Structure 1
Amino acid sequence: MQRPRIPTLLSAFLTLLNDRLSESIFLPLLPFLLEDFSSNGSTVGLLSGTYALSQFAVAPLIGALSDRFGRKPVISLCVFGSVIGMGLFATTLTVPWQQVWPEAAAAGLPLAMLFMARIIDGASGGTAATATAVLADITTPENRAKAFGLIGVAFGLGFVLGPGLGGVLGDVNRILPAWAATAFAVANLIVVLGLLPETHPITARKQLPRRRELNPVTLLARVFAKPEVRRLSIAFFGFFMAFNGFTTVLVLYLRNSFNWTEGMAGAAFALVGVIAMVVQGGLIGPLVQRFGELRLTLVGLGLLTSGCLLVPLATPTNSIPVVYTAVSLLALGTGLVTPCLRALVSRRLGSDGQGSALGGLQGLQSLGTFLGASAAGFSYDRIGVTSPFWFGSMMLVGVALLVGGSIRNRPQANQA
């Protein structure tokens, strides 16, 4: 089967980039975009986490469909869903509801449409796994790691471009980033339909698994059924719950407490992306060789805890230097913890358990993102505006204890 490499790589790269942009472009904008509908932290947290929850629910099904029917139809359908979701989100924000249909605005219809848009976009966000499968299809095992480098580049670039673009365009017009994300999704769909060849031959197609195998909870149960990675898996879940919790309410806190604008918030999140991309793209390899995954994980958790504790100490006169210092610590920390904690789990498993366990970790990440964002929004409203940062710090300390305890409790044979 002929597989032109450049069109295939371009299609996979744009799909991965679109997957990240559709989520990250709204990180500095949600509190501003929701001003006309709801300004409380619970709504911001739930809307922010809806994307991850939808992705968690459908990811196993999308992977199975790509194995059964091929990569191109599944990616095309997912990107089309992203176009619909982003278009609905942008349209809902554009309509002057109070003028054209005030009854609907009073009944909460625009807010319901925003949630539906994020559900559609999140359910279509299983493109990352299918695009990764495309890269695996067109490369030999010895060259696969190099091809998979595109995933890190696309995700890192998306986390830099998304908040930065959202902040810059949001300063011009708050709704403009939503239409920009929609336009990028349309361009992605055109490239996939026009350039992406089918990379999964008919002879390699698989039957759809049983319904139980498509249940995302099943993947989580398989992870926790492995005693050698159970504590680390709980730590992985807790890390993403804490991190996504306080980052979800960060912009709301900065806007309400210090009158930060979309551009200022976007620049802060873009800085996080740049630092994390440098750490994971260039520094993590030499650092792991020098210090090992365990030490780097604990150091990263310490940096995250310090950054989280620093945010509530900001005042109106020093908010810019304090917050930028805090997000730099957060970026360094997450750049160390994310790959090293995954590696610690991977080292505990034999070759037969890698696929299901690492897939389960992805599910834990999505579920932790949703629960962390929702809990932080609730805490912001009911307990205090700085409470998500204090609770996040305590959770990170608990994660560090889990990681350290899991290493100390290893069987002697595994320590070697």
Structure 2
Amino acid sequence: MARSGLPWVLAILFVDIAGEGMVYPITPGFLQALGGGTAQEAARLYGWSLALYAGLTLFFAPAWGVLSDRYGRRPILLLSVAGAALGNLLTAVAQNLELYFLGRVVAGATSANLVVVNAYLVDVSPPEQRARSFGLLGAVFGFGFVIGPALGGLVSDWGLRAPFWAVAGLSALTFALALALLPESLRPEDRKKTLRWLEANPFGALAALARYPLLRPLGWTILLNSLAMNMLIAVWIPYGAYRYGFGPAENGFVLAAFGLMSVLGQGLVVPWLVPRLGESRAILLGLGVSVLSLVLYGLASTPWTLLAALAVSALGAVDEPALQAFISRNVRPDEQGSVQGALATIGNLMGIVGPVAGTHLLSSFSGPQAVVELPGAPFFAGALCVSLGLGIAYRTLRCLAPSKITGP
């Protein structure tokens, strides 16, 4: 019965990702319209908006993971969708920056549902199929980034508020359907008997990783990789505008291309490649290709070379689902939510640091006040981070038995 709920869980995730994709391209302009400042001031507000959203997700993700281990996945997922509807509704009606940020607070506090989505997926997938399932989840991410910016570009013709109205309505519809059709995945006998409130805060949640010595070093790999990816996401739109003169339509197209590569990588490459290489080798290959992709982004002097670099990135999509599958194999059923919460804590912490660091590097290395004209600096810094994570992963995985290194 719970297996039948997987399409609905993926639908919830898709609405979240597509919704964010719809509002990303217009948010800097929306903030400038609300605040009345310059484009540069709006860009900084945009970076802080991303950091606020990630900060709230950082603090709430572990709590949702722990609560889902105790009470089940379904009520937490329903809460997250309702919060997305309310948060975007507040933003859509905002007449000032204060109400805009209140909407972001509501949406950010309740949007930390990826930890619960991951736990639901583990609940309904046998261990040998989890890399494929996490690849499917990644494909939904990518597909959301394809559809979201395209829809946002179309809807924004009706005004800068229209994408927020559209996301609020879509989230409300998803809530109604999930309320009627989403089954629970966590069996009563697999639920925690008591709540560990220490694990419900972002740093106490990391104690869940401490109980699994093999996962501690891989946590550093996830942290460094997440830092690089959050820098990339934060600077992508202002980087395209500065280096290539992109407007909202061009940024939407390139974001869609980015999502398409993720769909191809995680929807097609992962199911084919991970069973042949094994999870450990797939992790190392994906991280290595991610390093190469980031360097190519920073070097791309024309939009066409940027798109070529995006094509290379499809192969790098194997690292995250392979890592998730590897980690889930080594965690008890009643701690899947807690461990996913710990991993989300790492990712969300970097969601705070990454946007601020990335936009700071871009502003410091571009324009008339640049120390050195090097707009690709955030991508080069990201490549260095992923390289360090690759080294940690290699040292960790080579210590395993050969059967675990060479096979699934």
TM-score normalised according to structure 1 size: 0.78
- Which residue number in structure 2 is paired with residue 299 of structure 1? 285
Checking the alignment, whether the CA contact within 8 Å between 1:15 and 1:128 is kept in structure 2 is: no
Deviations 1:51-91 (A, max 9, x none): 23222211232344455556555444332221111111222
**Distance apart, 1:252 and its partner CA:** 0.7
Question: Number of residue pairs matched?
Answer: 391
Q: Secondary structure at the match of 2:258?
A: helix
Q: Supply the AA of the counterpart residue of 2:308.
A: T
What is residue 179 of structure 1 aligned with on the other side?
A: 165
Task: Give the residue type in structure 2 aligned to 1:22.
Answer: G
SS in 2 for 1:371: helix
Match for 2:351 among 365, 369, 376? Answer: 369
**Corresponding residue of 1:31:** 28
Residue number among 58, 61, 73 corresponding to 1:59 in the alignment = 61
User: Given the alignment of the two structures, is residue 328 of structure 1 paired with residue 339 of structure 2, yes or no?
Assistant: no
CA distance in 1, matches of 2:282, 2:325: 11
Q: Which residue of 2 aligns with 1:404?
A: 394
Pairwise CA distance, 1:27: 3.6
CA distance in 2 between partners of 1:345 and 1:72 (Å)? 23
Corresponding residue for 1:254? 240
- SS of the residue corresponding to residue 28 of structure 1 reads coil
Match status 1:44 vs 2:30: no
Aligned residue number for residue 89 of structure 1: 91
Structure 1 residues 73-222: aligned runs within 5 Å? 73-92=75-94, 95=95, 110-130=96-116, 151=137, 154-170=140-156, 173-196=159-182, 209-222=195-208
Query: After superposition, what is the alpha-carbon deviation per residue over 1:126-173, rounded to whole angstroms, capped at 9, x for unaligned?
Result: 444556666788x69699969888745643432322233223434664
Contact 1:42 1:380 in 2 (8 A): no
Per-residue CA deviations over 1:94-151 (Å, capped at 9, x if unaligned) read x4xxxxxxxxxxxxxx3343333222112111444556666788x6969996988874
C-alpha distance in structure 2 between counterparts of 1:353 and 1:20, whole Å:
27
Aligned to 1:101: none
**Structure 2 counterpart of 1:82, one-letter code:** A
CA distance in 2, matches of 1:311, 1:160: 19
- 8 A contact 1:80–1:189 mirrored in 2: yes
Contact 1:171 1:261 in 2 (8 A): no
TM-superposed deviation, 1:306: 2.9
2:362 counterpart letter in structure 1: Y
Matched residue type, 2:92: A
* TM-superposed deviation, 1:386: 3.3
Given candidates 181, 200, 209, the residue that maps to 1:223 is 209
Q: Deviations over 1:175-202 (max 9, x none)?
A: 3222211111121123234555677788
AA matched with 1:362 = A
- AA paired with 1:379? L
Give the distance between the partners of 1:249 and 1:62, measured in 2 at CA. 29
Shift in CA distance, 274/353, structure 1 to aligned 2, threshold 3 Å? same
Check whether the contact 2:199–2:206 (CA below 8 A) recurs between aligned residues: no
Aligned position for 2:369:
none
Q: CA RMSD in A?
A: 3.7
Check if 1:287 corresponds to 2:273: yes
Q: Deviations over 1:334-358 (max 9, x none)?
A: x1221223345456x3658973444
Unaligned runs of 5+ residues in structure 1 are 96-109
Closer, same or farther in 2 for the Cα pair 1:31/1:386, shift >3 Å? farther
* Letter of the structure 2 residue corresponding to residue 377 of structure 1: T
Determine what percentage of the aligned residue pairs are the same residue.
Answer: 28
Q: What is the distance in 1 between the residues matched to 2:287 and 2:127?
A: 33
Q: Match for 1:407: what amino acid?
A: L
User: Larger C-alpha radius of gyration, 1 or 2?
Assistant: 1
Deviation at 1:47, TM superposition (A): 1.4
CA contact (8 A) 1:240 1:368 kept: yes
Superposition deviation, residue 243 in structure 1: 1.3
Displacement after TM superposition at 1:235 (Å): 1.0
| Map of 1:263 onto structure 2 | 249
Q: How does 1:380-399 map to 2 (within 5 A)?
A: 380-384=362-366, 385-399=375-389
For residue 274 of structure 1, report the CA deviation from its aligned partner.
1.9
Residue of structure 2 equivalent to 1:98: none
Q: Is the 8 A contact 1:78 1:124 kept in 2?
A: yes
Corresponding residue for 2:372?
A: none
| CA distance in structure 2 between the aligned counterparts of 1:133 and 1:414, rounded to whole angstroms | 23
What SS class does the counterpart of residue 265 from structure 1 fall into?
Answer: helix
Structure 2 residues without counterparts, runs of 5 or longer: 367-374
SS in 1 for 2:83: helix
Which residue type is aligned with residue 272 of structure 1? F
| 271-280 or 375-384, larger mean C-alpha shift | 375-384
| Residues 63 and 341 in structure 2, CA contact (< 8 A), matched pair in contact too | no
Q: Quick one: distance in 1 between partners of 2:276 and 2:183?
A: 42
Kept after mapping to 1: 8 A contact 2:135/2:318 = no
The worse-fitting range, judged by mean Cα deviation, of 337-346 and 391-400 is 337-346
Distance 1:112 1:310, change over 3 A: farther
Work out whether residues 218 and 396 of structure 2, in 8 Å CA contact, stay in contact via their aligned partners in 1: yes
